[in-house]
Amino acid sequence: MATAQEIAAQQFSTVVAAHRRQIFRFLLASTRDEDLAETLTQECFLKAHRHWAGFRGDSSVLTWLMRIAINLQKDHWRSRRMQFWRQTRMNTVDLDEASEWLPSGQSSAEQRMLARERVGQVWKAVERLSERQRTIFLLRFVEERELSEIARATGLNEGTVKAHLSRALAKVRAEVGGTR
């Protein structure tokens, strides 16, 4: 017969398997540094594991994990702000790789090149957003989270999330040229 500790370990293992990719993807999009995203993802799950017994279920497990990831991300940026920005410029996502995220259809080489340039412009604009706007933008458009989920994950009310998202979109559109 399995002990309570073994059962909890199995439950947590299932949680990691179900959500690790989403947490990593969010942190990678936030930091643009694969090694840092991996480190923060591991820290997120270590912290979650330490507090697993105290998880009350007031939110979904993913929302709880995303909140931990956001807090780790904020802590990292606070403590290593200048080093973070230097590393971000050196370790950005390859534009060819990013262009694979775009639907290809029957696009020409020129259209694919223009799309890669556009993706690069968007990422640069996102880098210049405030920390809170960048987090909300990435949760909405990279992680495809609903506004209510973002509000729970960030600890903000939904109206505040909408305001930050609106400002972030306006800034990104202004930098990219206002077209979609």
Asked if residue 138 is part of any domain, the answer here is no
Asked if residue 101 is part of any domain, the answer here is no
Residue 157 has pLDDT above 50, yes or no: yes
CATH number for 13: 1.10.1740.10
Q: Which residues of 10-24 are buried (b: 16+ CB within 10 A; e: fewer)?
A: eebeebeeebeebbb
pTM of the model: 0.58
Residue 5 has pLDDT above 50, yes or no: yes
Asked if residue 113 is part of any domain, the answer here is no
Residue 48 has pLDDT above 90, yes or no: yes
Q: Given pLDDT bands bounded at 50, 70 and 90, which one contains residue 82?
A: very low
Domain that holds residue 4: 1-92
pLDDT (average), residues 111-135? 85
Which pLDDT value is given to residue 136?
92
Dump the DSSP string for 159-170.
Answer: HHHHHHHHHHHH
Please check whether residue 131 is in contact with residue 77, taking contact to mean a CB–CB distance below 8 angstroms: yes
Please check whether residue 179 is in contact with residue 172, taking contact to mean a CB–CB distance below 8 angstroms: no
Residue 83: exposed, middle, or buried by beta-carbon count in 10 A (0-12, 13-18, 19+)?
Answer: exposed
How crowded is residue 113: how many other Cβ atoms within 10 Å of its Cβ?
Answer: 14
Could you give the number of structural domains in the chain? 1
Residue 55 has pLDDT above 90, yes or no: no
What CA–CA distances, in Å, run from 139 to 44, 94, 107, 113, 177? 16, 21, 29, 27, 23
Asked if residue 16 is part of any domain, the answer here is yes
Residue 1 has pLDDT above 90, yes or no: no
Residue 100 has pLDDT above 60, yes or no: no
> Nearest-CA neighbor of 169 among 126, 131, 127?
126
Lowest mean pLDDT among 9-13, 26-30, 43-47, 86-90: 86-90
Q: Given pLDDT bands bounded at 50, 70 and 90, which one contains residue 86?
A: very low
pLDDT (average), residues 134-142? 88
HSE of 55, CA atoms in CB hemisphere, 13 A:
22
